Amino acid sequence: MGIETEYGILAPGRPDQNPMVLSSQVVNAFATRPGSRVGRARWDYEDEAPLRDARGHDMSRAAAHPSQLTDVAASHGGAMPDLEDPATANVVLTNGARLYVDHAHPEYSSPEVTGPRAAVVWDKAGERVMQEAATRVGSTPGLGEVRLYKNNTDSKGASYGCHENYLVQRATPFADLVSGLVPFFVTRQVVTGAGRVSIGPDGSVPGYQISQRADFIEVEVGLETTLKRPIVNTRDEPHASADRYRRLHVILGDANLFETATFLKLGTTALVLDMVEAGTLPADLHLASPVRALHDISHDPTVQAKVRLADGREVTALDVQWAYLEAARAHTAEREPDDATAARETEEVLRRWEDVLTRLGRDPALCHRDVEWVAKLRLLDGFAAREGVTWGHPRLAAIDLQWADVRPDKGLYHRLVARGQVDRLVDDAEVARAVDEAPEDTRAWFRGQCLARYGSAVAAASWDSVIFDVPGRGALQRVPTPEPLRGTREHVGALLDASATARDLVDALTST
Amino acid sequence: MAGQEQQRQQRRSDEHEVDEVEVPTSTTDAPTASDVDDLLDEIDDVLETNSEEFVRGFVQKGGQ
């Protein structure tokens, strides 16, 4: 699993700045920081297929919106990235992540991890990457200050995403994924929402809602990610062996700063996917109007909103979440865990999930330490009471934006953490290490180590390849990594230790 | 609210014959006004002087 986050970007006092250029400054500032081993590695687009639809067909390139053609950079070819061209600001980091410009935002795509706790660690590392990059841009002669925000909308009609990715077995019918996931996705926002001031894509209705992203979701199922956004996205681009796996690309979630929110978002979704694959989900939770239910639930911070099921029953988001939790408890009890660590982590997901649902049912205000939308609402309510203002006041909208500012001294989330008012799951030293180091138990480790050890010889890399340019070989040498759970430290650590140079490594790989 | 919770615990134990009807205890106390006040006291250091202009100027291009 992994998380990709597009950050909001602003050049204070310079509204005419091109956001693509600003975003490329952010990427390049991090790629060229002192001691960086990112080197000249470009992104390898060979296996990208953004128009492959999981329902079994491809969209034609001619029919696609230009924003869907994510498999081509504006200028292809040439080993050295052009640091002035925003379209080629696209690098692979030693922690296995991808840092690049997606549309008009800097994006950090975390390395592949095997559990929700590691997902939190490498997602938090992404926040640090963005903080450091923005600081570097601001201190670079000739460039101005750039601010970054981990949120999903400007409340003027634009939204940018925080996508989750999960590896699922190809054998699972896509229709089963859709029917199992939709009621879960529509209702999980009460646990994972980041909170938003104002209602409607353009923010024209004063108020507060649970989710940043909900109002931008318009259809139940679809391929698009930039328009007509769906609850379940059908992009079928596994970045792995396509005959064995698909990658579920989840686009409806909020970008979360709260660690518990990210932990539960990834942990509960992975459990639900396990249940889809095993056929152990409750079958009676289909919603009559999923998109409308998504919006209605988001617009009711009392979490009492009722939505209609296809069988006519009316239920709350909490009712649906309890049904999934109970099914997950039963499912987990009947299965042998992969190992003790995974079992403990699953138990923690179940325990925290139940704890949050219980408190949300008693009084959402009890969740101010671990549910992000509740914590933000509490601050806004306090401010509104003190200043005597109501929804629609610009100071409240400013608090919403300032919540997501990545700067530790200016972001309201960070100020709340500094006061000890937010539950943490991971420690700062671990996150700091994850800025440079890849997870050891996925192929991200091979990718990250290749950059860390042989950076100058890595011409390009992607999720499923590392491409070397080594002396003595005329052509570039492409090492495919189609199996996400190979290329781990256990699997290739000794080989890398025995290879002093990239040439040694390529020789060893091609001689077997 | 408490009544509703009671009902939920009851229903869960009925359906799955769970022995322990554990009422998960919150690790958190109910929010108090002073908690929020602490941060609100500092909020002017953090918010832009002209909030209206800042919010109006926060314009993004759409993404994925």
Tens digits of residue pLDDT in A181-209: 999 999 999 999 999 999 999 999 999 99
What six digits make up the tokens of A95? 């922690």
* pLDDT over threshold 50, residue B7: no
With CB atoms and an 8 Å threshold, state whether A397 touches B51: yes
Residues in contact with A35: Cβ distance below 8 Å, sequence separation at least 6, in sequence order: none
With CB atoms and an 8 Å threshold, state whether B60 touches A365: no
The pLDDT assigned to A506 comes to: 95
With CB atoms and an 8 Å threshold, state whether A361 touches B12: no
The pLDDT assigned to B9 comes to: 44
Q: Which of residues 4-63 of B touch A (CB under 8 A)?
A: 4-5, 8, 12, 15-16, 23-24, 26-28, 30-31, 33, 35-40, 42-43, 46-48, 51-52, 54-63
With CB atoms and an 8 Å threshold, state whether B1 touches A361: yes
Q: Which residues pair with A197 in a beta bridge?
A: A208
ipTM for the whole complex = 0.91
Considering only CA atoms, which of A259, A324, A290 is closest in space to residue A122?
A259
User: Could you read off the pLDDT tens digit of each residue along chain A, which spans 512 residues?
Assistant: 999 999 999 999 998 999 999 999 999 999 998 888 776 677 888 777 777 777 777 777 767 776 776 776 543 333 344 445 655 688 999 999 999 999 899 999 999 999 999 999 999 999 999 999 999 999 999 999 999 999 999 999 999 999 999 999 999 999 999 999 999 999 999 999 999 999 999 999 999 999 999 999 999 999 988 889 999 998 888 999 999 999 999 999 999 999 999 999 999 999 999 999 999 998 889 999 999 999 999 999 999 999 999 999 999 999 999 999 999 999 999 988 778 999 999 999 999 999 999 999 999 999 999 999 999 999 999 999 999 999 999 999 999 999 999 999 999 999 999 999 999 999 999 999 999 999 999 999 999 999 999 999 999 999 999 999 998 888 899 999 999 999 999 999 999 999 999 999 999 998 86
Better-scored residue on pLDDT, B32 or A468? A468
Angle at CA of residue B53, ends A13 and A130, nearest 5°: 55
CA distance A381 to A172: 45
Considering only CA atoms, which of A404, A422, A424, A420 is closest in space to residue A412?
A404
The pLDDT assigned to A85 comes to: 62
How far CA A290 is from CA of A138, A281, A293, A394, A474, in Å, comes to 44, 18, 5, 32, 55
Q: Which residues pair with A316 in a beta bridge?
A: A306
Q: Show residues of chain B in contact with A395, CB under 8 Å.
A: 47, 51
The pLDDT assigned to B23 comes to: 44
Chain B residue closest in CA terms to A104: B61
Which of A154, A157, A398 minimises the CB distance to B47? A398
Considering only CA atoms, which of A405, A372, A427 is closest in space to residue A120?
A427
Chain B residue closest in CA terms to A395: B51
The pLDDT assigned to A512 comes to: 62
Chain B residue closest in CA terms to A417: B39
Instruction: Report which DSSP code applies to A455.
Output: G
Q: What is the pTM for the complete model shown?
A: 0.91
The pLDDT assigned to A56 comes to: 73
Exposed e or buried b per residue across A85-97, where buried means at least 16 C-beta atoms within 10 angstroms of its C-beta: bbbbbbbbbbbbb
Phi first, then psi: what are they for A79, rounded to 5°?
-75, -30
Instruction: Report which DSSP code applies to A235.
Output: B
CA B52 to chain centre: 26
The pLDDT assigned to A58 comes to: 75
**Is A5 within 8 Å of A108 (Cβ atoms)?**
yes
Helices and strands in chain A: count of H runs, count of E runs: 15, 20
Residues in contact with A7: Cβ distance below 8 Å, sequence separation at least 6, in sequence order: A105, A106, A107, A108, A130, A148, A149, A150, A160, A255, A406
Chain B residue closest in CA terms to A101: B63
With CB atoms and an 8 Å threshold, state whether B40 touches A379: yes
Token pair 């970008």 is found at: A255
With CB atoms and an 8 Å threshold, state whether A10 touches B58: yes
CA A337 to chain centre: 26
Query: For residue A477, which amino acid is it?
Result: Q
Angle at CA of residue A351, ends A337 and A411, nearest 5°: 115
The pLDDT assigned to B32 comes to: 52
Q: How far is B14 from chain A (nearest CA, A)?
A: 12
The pLDDT assigned to A52 comes to: 77
